[in-house]
């Protein structure tokens, strides 16, 4: 019997929001081995006719990723998209200053759009507002989305792509507040540029949706004034504001690391408040939604990256090998995003393949699932539908940076069409947690399945040689009795409770 006890009440009347499927987006940047050696490896035995690895496409499909941000990231702030279209043999090799790598341009936007289609995903395209501006942003929208009869749309057709790509979501640059960014700007400079670029891009294609850059993180000194100033300029022209965050267990403090998602929660609340402050100031009826288009754990590879030789094609950069504890943090971050589904419409796990990624490959060799693959795959495949407000009563703890951290992090998602209620839950405690769920309002509730991801060693990882060291298991689940489900969540575990309703 567990000493730790938590309770939840789940009622279908308390609807928070319908999840936007794009909350399960991801990200492929021209960085490290994400493209070259990741999705694209023409010499690989599993490569298809376009040079894309079929095994990687299959794993992406398993993750069920509806939208993929591309081509950066920091990379986009120095990128000339025209270098990546047209005959491959005529494409220039460029220095990528963001990652001190060589960009051979063998994969560009047309190839990526083709890959995304094969992976059942949409492209979320970023434009370069670092070294470039309104003119180039206008041209790329015309190339991608205009049917034909103009210079840039006819160039696309000349390149063999008769039908427009119809790319709906566009990012107005990337992390423009960061000193590491090529062409960094002040909030006023960026806000004005984003406003004008947005205006012109929508004149080319009024159906597109635009994401303005929020701060690169909540710890940068200009946060949240950056958000306020950018929106004071561009509120009417843009649809989303971006958020980025990464966490790491740098000092080996598990309890503190597991509480990281409380910081993410506070970050989201502050950005929502700032958006709504500008809305009030402008007397506007429009709501700005959030695009949390970079989130993950990122710290394992920081030191190794300093040793990587510059100016290579596809160098091994940002290759974090994820532990069981990282999977718990990713699970808590997913739950946090879902708890804000009323404002977070788009989110991108950064990234997708090899670079701080759920999917790893060896050049010419096998591919495998990292620990963080599983919480993402479970949520993306099973937690679709309506997020319900569900008060949690849980014992709490304090850690170095956080107070009142609940041992139980959980969110219910009701898939009405499938007749299923899914409860995603993380037990942050180093002992089992007895959870009692009151399923009022679901008179026909019947328990179906309890999936658990845990491991006796929180530092356990999946590798090429041991790809199944950390894998989910099914546990027996008791019946729903008098409208209540009682279940034990193992110590330090990610849980998916599936209930037929």
Residues annotated as part of the active site = 175, 294
Structure tokens belonging to residue 230: 């950018």
Phi, psi dihedrals of residue 426, rounded to the nearest 5°:
-115, 130
Which residue lies nearer to ligand AHR by CB, 187 or 204? 187
Q: Rounded to the nearest whole angstrom, what is the least distance from the CB of residue 216 to ligand AHR in the complex?
A: 6
Q: Crossing angle of helices 324-339/373-382, nearest 10°?
A: 30
- Told to check if 96 binds ligand AHR by CB under 6 A, we report no
Q: Rounded to the nearest whole angstrom, what is the least distance from the CB of residue 80 to ligand AHR in the complex?
A: 17
Contact 358, 373 (CB under 8 A): yes
- Told to check if 174 binds ligand AHR by CB under 6 A, we report yes
Q: Rounded to the nearest whole angstrom, what is the least distance from the CB of residue 172 to ligand AHR in the complex?
A: 13
**CA distance linking residue 365 with residue 55, whole number of Å:** 11
Q: Rounded to the nearest whole angstrom, what is the least distance from the CB of residue 247 to ligand AHR in the complex?
A: 13
Q: Rounded to the nearest whole angstrom, what is the least distance from the CB of residue 73 to ligand AHR in the complex?
A: 3
Q: What x-and-dash track marks residues 12-31 binding ligand AHR by CB under 6 A?
A: -----------------x--
Given CA atoms 18, 448, 373, 220 in this order, what sign does their dihedral have?
A: positive
Cβ neighbours for 467, distance < 8 A, ≥ 6 positions apart: 366, 368, 369
Which residue lies nearer to ligand AHR by CB, 72 or 314? 72
Burial class (CB in 10 A: 0-12, 13-18, 19+), 434: middle
- Told to check if 490 binds ligand AHR by CB under 6 A, we report no
Among positions 37, 72, 224, 375, the unique one binding ligand AHR when judged by CB under 6 A: 72
Which residue lies nearer to ligand AHR by CB, 348 or 458? 348
Q: How many residues bind ligand AHR (CB under 6 A)?
A: 10
C-alpha dist (Å) from residue 199 to 102, 146, 357: 33, 16, 34
- Told to check if 177 binds ligand AHR by CB under 6 A, we report no
Which residue lies nearer to ligand AHR by CB, 41 or 175? 175
Which residue lies nearer to ligand AHR by CB, 9 or 216? 216
Which residue lies nearer to ligand AHR by CB, 227 or 488? 227
Residue 276: its H or E element: helix 260-281
Classified as helix, coil or strand, 379 is helix
Structure tokens belonging to residue 225: 């004034």
- Told to check if 74 binds ligand AHR by CB under 6 A, we report yes
Contact 134, 196 (CB under 8 A): yes
Q: Rounded to the nearest whole angstrom, what is the least distance from the CB of residue 77 to ligand AHR in the complex?
A: 9
**CA distance linking residue 121 with residue 28, whole number of Å:** 12
- Told to check if 197 binds ligand AHR by CB under 6 A, we report no
Residues in the chain: 501
- Told to check if 175 binds ligand AHR by CB under 6 A, we report yes
Among positions 350, 387, 390, 433, the unique one binding ligand AHR when judged by CB under 6 A: 350
Q: Rounded to the nearest whole angstrom, what is the least distance from the CB of residue 378 to ligand AHR in the complex?
A: 23
**CA distance linking residue 348 with residue 358, whole number of Å:** 12
Q: Which residues in the 262-301 window bind ligand AHR by CB under 6 A?
A: 294
C-alpha dist (Å) from residue 415 to 17, 63, 65, 264, 385: 12, 18, 18, 25, 4
- Told to check if 145 binds ligand AHR by CB under 6 A, we report no
Q: What x-and-dash track marks residues 215-234 binding ligand AHR by CB under 6 A?
A: -x------------------
- Told to check if 77 binds ligand AHR by CB under 6 A, we report no
Cβ neighbours for 189, distance < 8 A, ≥ 6 positions apart: none
- Told to check if 73 binds ligand AHR by CB under 6 A, we report yes
Binding site for ligand AHR (CB under 6 A): 29, 72-74, 174-175, 216, 294, 350-351
């Amino acid at each position: 019997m567990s000493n730790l006890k938590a309770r939840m009440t789940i009622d279908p009347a308390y609807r928070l929001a319908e999840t936007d499927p794009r909350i399960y987006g991801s990200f492929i940047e021209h960085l490290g081995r994400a493209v070259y050696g990741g999705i694209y490896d023409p010499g690989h035995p599993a490569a298809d006719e376009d040079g894309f690895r079929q095994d990687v496409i299959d794993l992406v499909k398993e993750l069920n990723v509806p939208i993929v941000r591309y081509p950066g990231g920091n990379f986009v702030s120095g990128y000339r998209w025209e270098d990546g279209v047209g005959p491959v043999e005529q494409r220039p090799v460029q220095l990528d200053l963001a990652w001190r790598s060589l960009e051979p341009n063998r994969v560009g936007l047309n190839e990526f759009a083709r890959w995304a289609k094969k992976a059942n995903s949409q492209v979320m395209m970023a434009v370069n507002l670092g070294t470039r501006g309104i003119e180039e942003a206008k041209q790329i929208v015309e190339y991608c989305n205009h049917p034909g009869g103009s210079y840039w749309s006819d160039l696309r057709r000349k390149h063999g792509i008769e039908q427009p790509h119809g790319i709906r979501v566009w990012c107005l640059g990337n992390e423009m507040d960061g000193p590491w960014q090529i062409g960094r700007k002040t909030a006023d400079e960026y806000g004005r540029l984003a406003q004008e670029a947005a205006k012109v891009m929508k004149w080319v294609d009024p159906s597109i949706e635009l994401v303005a850059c929020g701060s690169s993180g909540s710890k940068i000194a200009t946060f949240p004034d950056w958000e306020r100033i950018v929106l004071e300029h561009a509120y009417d022209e843009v649809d989303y504001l971006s958020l980025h965050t990464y966490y790491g267990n740098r000092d080996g403090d598990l309890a503190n690391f597991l509480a990281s998602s409380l910081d993410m929660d506070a970050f989201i609340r502050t950005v929502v408040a700032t958006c709504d402050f500008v809305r009030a100031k402008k007397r506007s009826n429009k709501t700005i939604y959030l695009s949390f288009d970079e989130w993950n754990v990122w710290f394992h590879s920081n030191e190794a990256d300093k040793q990587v030789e510059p100016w290579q094609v596809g160098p091994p950069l940002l290759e974090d090998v994820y532990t069981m504890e990282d999977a718990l943090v990713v699970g808590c971050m997913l739950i946090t995003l879902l708890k804000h589904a009323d404002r977070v419409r788009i989110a991108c796990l950064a990234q997708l393949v090899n670079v701080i990624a759920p999917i790893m490959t060896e050049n010419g060799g096998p591919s495998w699932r990292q620990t963080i693959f599983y919480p993402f795959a479970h949520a993306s495949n099973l937690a679709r539908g309506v997020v319900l407000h569900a008060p949690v009563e849980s014992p709490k703890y304090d850690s170095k940076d956080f107070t009142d951290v609940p041992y139980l992090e959980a969110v219910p998602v009701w898939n009405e069409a499938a007749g299923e209620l899914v409860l995603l839950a993380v037990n942050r405690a180093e002992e089992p947690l007895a959870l009692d769920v009151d399923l009022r309002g679901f008179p026909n509730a019947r328990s179906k399945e309890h999936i658990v991801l845990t491991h006796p060693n929180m530092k356990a990882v999946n590798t090429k040689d041991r790809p199944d060291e950390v894998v989910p298991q099914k546990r027996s689940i008791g019946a729903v009795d008098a409208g209540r489900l009682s279940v034990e969540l193992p110590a330090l575990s990610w849980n998916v409770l599936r209930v037929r309703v």
